[in-house]
Each structure stands twice: as C-alpha cells, then as structure tokens.
Amino acid sequence: MQKIINNTQTIINASQSNAVSITDRGLNYGDGFFTTAKIVNGQVEYWHHHKARLVECAERLAFPELDFSPLEQHIHNQVKQKQTGVLKILVTRGEGGRGYNLPSECNLTIIVSVLEYPANYNALAEQGVSLEISPIKLAAQPLLAGLKTLNRLEQVLIKKAMQTQNCDDVLVLDYNNQVIEASAANIFAIKHGKVFTPKLNECGIKGVYLQALCDKLTVEFKHITVNDLTKADAVFVCNSLMHAVPVNRIEQQCFNVAHSNALLTNLLAKEA
C-alpha cells in the first residue's frame, strides 16, 4: 500500500455543469463515502453527527484528513436560503493509483448536492410504515460495518426486490437471519420501556439519527431476530431525513401507530 503524501480537495456543486473524471476512483471502485442530511430553515440538522460520520469514514478508509473550513462555508452558501430540503455530501479519493493501489498524491473529490425533501415522508410519519422481509441478505464485512460507503449494490438489489413486495419498506437480515436494518433506515424497538436496536459490527450502517437518539436514550445494541421485533411493544424505522417513523405492520403482525408514538414520546420526556 502506497503512502499518501499530499492532500488537496476539490468541491463540486452538483447543480452546476461540473464534470467528474471517468478515472475517478469513486466511479471505478466505489472508493468513497457519503452522508445525507435534512435542511431545516437554512440549517443542516445534526451537522455535528454528519461531520463525525465523514471524519470516521475518512479515517477508517485511510483517506486524508478532510478540510472542513471551505466545505462548511460552501455548504452554508448552498443551504442558507432553503427552508426544507436534503443535503448530500459525497467524497471520493479522486483520481490516481495503479488499479486498486492508492495514489501517492491524493486529490479528493467532494460533490455537494441540494435536493428536494421527499414528498411521501410526512404521510409515512402519520400512518406508519409496513414492513416485509427482504429476500436479499447482507454479507458480513466488519472492516466496512457501520460506514456509509459508495458500495451500495446490496441496497440496489433490495430496492429492486421491493418492487414485487406489498409494503412501504423491508426488514433486511444478514446470513445468520439477524435483523440489521431497513432498506435505507435503521430499526429500533421498545419492549417493557427499554429501547434496543440491531448490532452493526459486521454489516449495516449506523445512521446519524440513531446516533442522535443514543444521545437522548439508553439504547442496547444486540442480536435481534424478526420474532424479537414482532413481540416488541413498538418498532420504528429511522434516518436523518424522516427521523423516527412507527412501524404499523411486520408481515402479519400489526402495531398501533398512536400507541407506538406515545411510548417513544414518554421515554424521551423522562430523559429530557
């Protein structure tokens, strides 16, 4: 492995006609990572958690240290007039290196996109989400577990399989039939006043909203089966865009959305 001896970074505004090189390592090898945040009243929600995610991804994937000063200024300029929206920050290792080898000099590519907020999220928050079991299972790779890398082909296959399933989202399992996450969200549940969520030490993504929830509540990370979820008092899917949304059905097991919301509200009130 070659040592990275220099670091520069190029920030690209996705709304402009900037081109990404066909030799960019993010395009050729998925050599990069990203985060997706909610914009509210010209501010990026949970920015310190998104920033921490970017730092962790860079460190664990042996990227050079990110220079946040120009990046944060660029983000501020892009979101300050936006009342509601989505910010996506995508980082690649740029060009260079022979095959998979790392480049001796690294010029990061950072793509900043401002997108519209998904129109269906508010409705899902009110009515809850229905879940079925995805036929696509996640492979174990502890070196990448928890990270939001550009290698998302498993999720593409999961979404493709969802087209034939009668549900809003799916529960995704690993090859040991442990629950890991939803297609693009984390899962957590409440049972007897305690909050638990799947272990993510071998696969899956530890989302920003889940991390923010851990700041407010005691959350146990443990091995979880589908049966554990169906026996819970309440189940939620969560990510940084839609926050915590109650599950109204897992396969044939139904949950009362109002009761689920009340349980979570009461827990948060106790910890406030």
Cβ proximity of 148 and 57 under 8 Å: yes
Cβ proximity of 238 and 207 under 8 Å: yes
Instruction: Calculate ∠ Cα 11-12-15, nearest 5°.
Output: 145
45, 132, 181, 202: the catalytic one is: 181
Known catalytic residue at 36: yes
148, 197, 199, 206: the catalytic one is: 148
35, 36, 92, 109: the catalytic one is: 36
Structural element, H or E, at residue 76: helix 68-79
For the stretch 94-129, what's the b/e string if a residue is b when 16 or more beta carbons lie within 10 angstroms of its beta carbon?
A: bbbbeeeebbebbbbbbbbbbeebeeeeeebbeebb
Dist CA 92 CA 8 (whole Å) = 12
Known catalytic residue at 148: yes
Instruction: Give catalytic residues, as residue numbers.
Output: 36, 148, 181
